[in-house]
Chains A and B, each alone.
Chain A
Amino acid sequence: MPITVNGNEAELPHDPRVSLLDLLREDLHLFGAKKGCNQGACGACTVLVDGQRVLSCLTLAVQCEGRHVMTVEGLAGDNGLHPLQKAFIEHDGFQCGFCTPGQICSALGMAAEFDRGVPSVITEDFDDDGVALTPEEIRERMSGNLCRCGAHNGIVAAIAEVHAIQGDRTDSREAAA
């Protein structure tokens, strides 16, 4: 069974040492996921595997057989940039742009985790269903993605804005139903 990357099937490497990150970059020439440390310390290589945010540098490519990988390159659709990509631009959620694909993929995974009720270390009450995705919650949940240029404020603002808009949309759908 091959691996699926952004909807396209790809061959797994023969050498099991090849990380998912190196497969993406060196074999598939998808350079969006970045090698910032290659040791799981910076988050720049974050991609979504079956919807979960993971570090592609610590994932052996062979472990992803049959799985669906989404990288930042798979985000923009026929209608242009993903809302989160637009929000990152609008809020200046990056400077050099190197950690950016990882931040964006991580933010997508983070929002899904939050929406299904995964608590964070600063979530005070696990029983409270009304926990809001505050800037502080975003900061904690995004702390695995380092940024050295100091775009943290813009990143958090972009994520908060998009999550709030999508939350509104969900709420209005529920209200209509």
Chain B
Amino acid sequence: MTPFTYSRASDTASAVQFGAMAQAKYLGGGTNLVDLLRETIEQPSSLIDVTGLSSAITPTADGGLLIGAAAKNTALAEHRLVLSHYPMLTRSIVAGASAQIRNMATVGGNILQRTRCAYFYDTEGSRCNKRSLGQGCDAIDGFNRNHAILGASSSCVATHPSDMCVALAALDALVHLQGPTGARVIPLVDLHLLPDNDPGKETVLLPGELITAIELPSPLVGGRSTYRKVRDRASYAFALVSVAAILAVEDGKVTGVRLAFGGVAPKPWRAKKAENALLGAPATEATFRKAAEAELAHATPLSGNGFKVELAIRTVAALMTSLAGDQS
């Protein structure tokens, strides 16, 4: 680790004040950042510990939930209102990492974690445009089993590793931000950027901007939801493909659907094409599969991850079929 100073923020205003300084970095649970510091991928000169800021989980006036960004992943997963109203969110969180990491990681930090691409991590021995723009990407023709089939570019094929974010994307979560110039609220699905020509720029966050809270709108009426993660080890492994799905069915027709993928894209991937194909369509395995195929029609698989296309389609079809079955 490159030397840095450490300070603990007592309130959002002072956090943002310090966070706006050059080479400052916010520290949450540290489960990703400490690792990145150790690898000297991140070299901030100061760390601002924001774990003491709001971690409250409170109902909103319109039936949703406001989650302080410092809430630990476990605290969110086990919260009574999450268990009862957003069980898919709990399922996604407990599918991620290990219990120890979930006890440490904050919600804000989970959202801002960086890719686990091995070439990104290999600071000495591999080329990576995300670390150093213009170097090239060794993953594209290397080991890319864990890499993206959607939304990648010729400069970067890394995936966003979060499980929680996949559920948040499907839940239409909003992200509350506080920056040196003020506060704003944006949809989670607009927070992360696709790599295009500058994969080092991963979010729309402005310098010093801090995630202060996540807001969940009220749950989809009549919707059933779940999260399924497919991985190379039965537990404690990143997703090859994961699917968060919310489905409402009436008279055999899809009346509401929200679908998001993990493990296949540089950001939590909201499957809007599939959703559009499904609304009003019969709730059958064949239509679910077709909708998934529509979403993945423009997938660009790499040498080692072509199987993810079919895996994603099958997982969606099976998951949606079981959700539909629950409502028949």
Contact = CB atoms under 8 A, between A and B. Distances in A.
A143 B237 CA distance: 10
A105 to B, nearest CB: 9
A63 B47 CA distance: 11
Interface string A131-170: 0000000011101111000000000000000000000000
A65 B5 CA distance: 15
B95 interface: yes
Interface string A18-31: 01000000000000
Contacts of A39: 35, 38
Interface string A62-102: 11010000000000000000000000000000000000000
B100 A143 contact: no
Interface residues of A, number: 40
A121 B103 contact: no
Nearest to B227: A121
B100 A118 contact: no
B212 interface: no
B98 A43 contact: yes
B6 A62 contact: yes
A36 interface: no
Interface stretch (B83-91, B255-263, B291-299): B83-91
Contact of B83 (A53, A55, A119, A120): A119
A55 to B, nearest CB: 5
Contact of B47 (A16, A140, A141): A16
Contacts of A144: 97-101, 236
Contacts of A146: 236
Interface of B: 1, 3-6, 8, 27, 29-31, 34-35, 37-38, 47, 49, 51, 74, 77-78, 83-84, 87, 90-91, 94-95, 97-101, 103-104, 229, 234-236
